[in-house]
Chain A
Amino acid sequence: MIKFIASRLAEAVIVLFIGSILCFAFIRMLPGDPATAMYGDQLLKMSQADQMRIVENLGLNEPLYTQYAKWLINVLHGEWGHSYTTGEEVKVMVTRAIEPTVVLMLSSTVIILLLSLFFGMVTGLRRYSILDHAVTIASFLFMSLPSFWFALMLMLFFSVYLGVLPTAGIGKEGAGDWLKHLIMPSLVLALAHIGYYIRILRNHIAIIKEKEFVWALQARGVSQRKILFKHLLPNASIPFLSFIGMSLSLTLAGSVVVETLFSWPGLGRLSLKSALAHDYPVIMATILLCMSVVIIGSFLIDLLCAWIDPRLRNQLMKEADK
């Protein structure tokens, strides 16, 4: 088991390393010049020597791999550099943005889990019932909604017509206000992917329900409730969990749009803003952070799946031994 964890961890580190190289190389190939990004038109008015000095200061005249190595060492030391646009320390900017994003992701995950567990289970057990048809259509509908448009429609309804929910920012006046501000963004983020979760759970419950061991349990006189919660659900939970791992990056991508729309001061909004402003240190930091979250998240979910499912554990350990 230790070896398995170690090999998965090594794999995760390799992926992160490859990812960081990809990001770095990619961003450095962009036409936007960081010196221009930082000083704008002022740069043109400066003397040749001043321009050179700035380029040197930013380390832009060194070969790419040295720049990358330096940057990597800095990152590992917690030194993320300064924003080209605001001059603020990247570390501070990013740390400030983490909390709102985590709050948003957690609340939407709670919504997803509650709704999809309930509806996935009910529709999986009662396939082709009226409820199942309704949930199926709703799932497909939510899969097809552009999330920004859905957000606009919610705003139109709850903020413009009913006037009950605020449209922007984080609530600062007590728990009620905070919750009110959270409802719409987390709902949009959750519902964008909930269709997939419901479908996956439904289809797996339906498949496992027909397995012979369920029949055998009935023949041994085990009660329906026990069969559902002790056997059907754990067996169906593996694909469900691994989908959560896979969709982490989808959810983060979704949060870019949602945070921007609702002026939610999180990582998503920060990354979009800095990307539009060619603010390389900030983009690198946010992308790397998002990547680490996704990679570590899927690593943890892999562990969780292996812990739940003995067959998977067996198979993964065999793979690790190769």
Chain B
Amino acid sequence: MRRKQKWLVNGIIGYLLLLLVFTGLAPFFTPYEPGAVGLSAVLQPPSAAHLFGTDELGRDVFTRLLYGGRVSLAVGTAAMLISVVIGAGYGAISGFVGGMIDRVMMRVLDALISIPSILLMIGLQIFLPHSLTAVVLIIGMTSWMPIARLVRTETLSLKGEVFVQASAVVGASSRQLLTRHLLPQCLPTITVMSVSGISHAILSEATLSFLGLGIPPHEPSWGNMLMGVQNYVLSGIWWIAVFPGLFITLTVLAVTFLGDMLQDRFALPQFRKGERLL
């Protein structure tokens, strides 16, 4: 079991590092420009010249994947940061203040959660201009709710812990209780949520862009490379759909596993390697 996990950890970290290197240094790995249109070589299947084939405008799929990876990863990380800040703030305030404010905040949260997220995103998308920043904002502003709920639960349960009272007895003020005990206790949860937030954001970006609501087409992203591919897929042109999706899946999988392992690492010392609820 142990050895297998080590192998898995190495594999995941290796993949993510390679991905960062390849996308970050994209010009060194491909002779093509991501936007270069080649009308002489439209919809070419994979070959030595075009590793993953070309798309309907004759652009090299491999090249666009590398450049698109930059956008997808950046959007994922930035959107996650926004959602974590909103979510953790909302949850901590609600849990720490308690009472009527907590109740109202929780009912608002319930209402927001019950609206299917994609509809919220589409709504916001109409509201904001069609740009990369807008996509980041949209995803960030529609995915903070689960984090808020979790942080609130955590804060609430910590408030009643004996060790918090014990440190009040040795003289800690309530500000000191918050900074020395409550916040550090919440930090692991927030970190783990952040990592899984990246997966969520990458998937959301892909879905939005696929629906034509995400990243504008002139800038490649893994999502918008899949925009409008349905008809090509149905006529058997598989390469323009398979490779971007494969990269999304692999990356999200790697990040999800990473989050899972972080959860293990951050678990209380006595629960390490123990069982999680998800």
Question: What's the minimum C-beta distance from A188 to chain B, rounded to whole angstroms?
Answer: 13
Query: Do B253 and A290 touch across chains, with their CB atoms under 8 A apart?
Result: no
Specify which chain A residues have a CB less than 8 angstroms from the CB of B207 in the assembled complex: 146-148, 257
Interface pick from A20-28, A43-51, A170-178, A303-311: A20-28
Q: Is the CB of A27 within 8 A of B123?
A: yes
CB distance B233 to A156 under 8 Å?
A: yes
B108: CB under 8 A from chain A?
A: yes
Closest B residue, CB atoms, query A204: B277
Q: Which of A22, A30, A146, A283 contacts B203 (CB 8 A)?
A: A146
> Could you tell me if A152 and B233 are in contact, using CB atoms closer than 8 angstroms?
yes
Surface stretch bound by B, among A8-16, A91-99, A104-112: A8-16
A263, chain B: closest CB distance, angstroms: 10
Do the beta carbons of A257 and B118 come within 8 Å of each other? yes
Residues A18 and B119 in contact, CB atoms below 8 Å apart? no
Is the Cβ of B107 less than 8 Å from the Cβ of A253? no
Are A261 and B249 in contact, with the CB atoms below 8 A? Answer: no
Chain A residues with Cβ below 8 Å from B269 are none
Q: How far is the CA of A32 from the CA of B119 in the complex (A)?
A: 16
Question: Is A253's CB under 8 angstroms from B114's CB?
Answer: no
B126 at the interface (CB under 8 A from A): yes
How far is A134 from B207 in the complex, measured between Cα atoms in Å?
27
For the A-B complex with A143-B256, A286-B119 known, give 7 more contacts whose Cβ atoms are closer than 8 Å.
A27-B123, A149-B210, A149-B248, A152-B245, A278-B126, A287-B115, A295-B114
Shortest distance from the beta carbon of B205 to any chain A beta carbon, whole Å: 10
Closest to A150 in B: B245
Query: How close is A245's CB to chain B, nearest CB, in angstroms?
Result: 11
A140-B257, A152-B241, A167-B234 as given contacts; A249 in contact with B107, CB under 8 Å:
no
- Please list 23 pairs of residues, one from A and one from B, whose beta carbons are closer than 8 Å in the complex, sorted by A's number: A16-B111, A18-B108, A22-B108, A140-B260, A143-B253, A144-B250, A146-B252, A148-B206, A149-B245, A149-B249, A153-B242, A153-B245, A160-B233, A203-B275, A203-B276, A206-B275, A249-B116, A250-B116, A253-B117, A272-B122, A290-B115, A290-B119, A294-B116
Chain B hits for A260, CB < 8 A: 211
Binding site for A on B (CB under 8 A): 1, 4, 107-108, 110-119, 122-123, 126-127, 199, 203, 206-207, 210-211, 226, 229-230, 233-236, 238, 241-242, 244-245, 248-250, 252-253, 256-257, 260, 275-278
Interface contact A239-B277, CB-CB below 8 Å: yes
User: Which residue on B lies nearest to A252, using beta carbons?
Assistant: B116
Contact status B249-A144, CB under 8 Å = yes
**Number of contacting residues on A, CB 8 A?**
62
**Is A26 a contact partner of B242 (Cβ separation < 8 A)?**
no
Known contacts A144-B252, A146-B206: A15-B116 contact under CB 8 Å:
no
CA distance A204 to B117 in the complex (A): 28
Contact pattern, A 256-293, Cβ under 8 Å of B = 1, otherwise 0: 11001100000000011001101000010011001100
In the complex, the answer to whether A287 meets B211 with C-beta atoms within 8 Å is no
Q: How far is the CA of A150 from the CA of B246 in the complex (A)?
A: 10
Q: Does A128 contact B (CB under 8 A)?
A: yes
Say whether A31 contacts B127, CB under 8 Å.
Answer: yes
Name the distance in Å between A181's Cβ and chain B's nearest Cβ: 15
Q: How many interface contacts (CB-CB < 8 Å) are there between A and B?
A: 154
Q: Is A114 an interface residue (CB 8 A)?
A: no
B101, chain A: closest CB distance, angstroms? 15
Known: A152-B229, A253-B119. A291 touches B245 (CB 8 A): no
Q: Does A314 contact B (CB under 8 A)?
A: no
Among A148, A206, A286, residue most surrounded by chain B Cβ atoms (within 10 Å)? A148
Q: Is the beta-carbon distance between A160 and B253 smaller than 8 angstroms?
A: no
Q: Say which residue of A146, A160, A275 sits within 8 Å of B248 (CB atoms).
A: A146
Q: Tell me how far the C-beta of B71 lies from the nearest C-beta in chain A, rounded to whole angstroms.
A: 15
Our pick among A15, A146, A276 for the contact of B122 (Cβ within 8 Å) is: A276
Q: Is A80 an interface residue (CB 8 A)?
A: no
- A103 at the binding interface (Cβ < 8 Å): no
Which residues from chain B contact A287 at a C-beta distance below 8 Å?
Answer: 115, 119
Q: When chains A and B are docked, how far (Å) is the Cα of A286 from the Cα of B253?
A: 33
Pairs A-B, 5 closest by C-beta atoms: A149-B245, A19-B111, A253-B116, A294-B114, A144-B252
State A144–B278 Cα separation when bound (angstroms). Answer: 15
In-complex Cβ contact of B234 among A159, A199, A295 (8 A): A159
Contact yes or no, B123 A275, CB < 8 A: yes
Q: Determine whether A29 belongs to the interface, using a CB cutoff of 8 Å to chain B.
A: yes
Measured in the bound complex, the distance between the Cα atoms of B7 and A133 in whole Å is: 14
Minimum CB–CB distance for B11 against chain A, Å: 12
Cα-based distance from A144 to B238 in the complex (angstroms): 20
Question: Chain A's nearest CB lies how many Å from the CB of B217?
Answer: 16
Whether, in the assembled complex, A300 has its beta carbon less than 8 Å from a beta carbon of chain B, the answer is: no
Chain A positions 124-156 with a Cβ under 8 Å from a chain B Cβ: 128, 133, 140-141, 143-150, 152-153, 155-156
Instruction: Give the distance in Å from the alpha carbon of A29 to the alpha carbon of B128 in the complex.
Output: 11
CA distance A156 to B206 in the complex (A): 19
**Chain A residue at minimum C-beta to C-beta distance from B202:** A146
**Pick from B116, B226, B234, B253: contact of A148, CB under 8 Å:** B226
Q: B113 — which chain A residues lie within 8 A by C-beta?
A: 249, 294
- CB pair A140 B127 closer than 8 Å: no
Within the assembled complex, what's the spacing in Å between the Cα atoms of A18 and B114? 11
> A196 at interface (Cβ–Cβ under 8 A)?
yes
CA distance A309 to B84 in the complex (A): 33
Name the B residues within 8 Å of A14 (CB-CB): 107
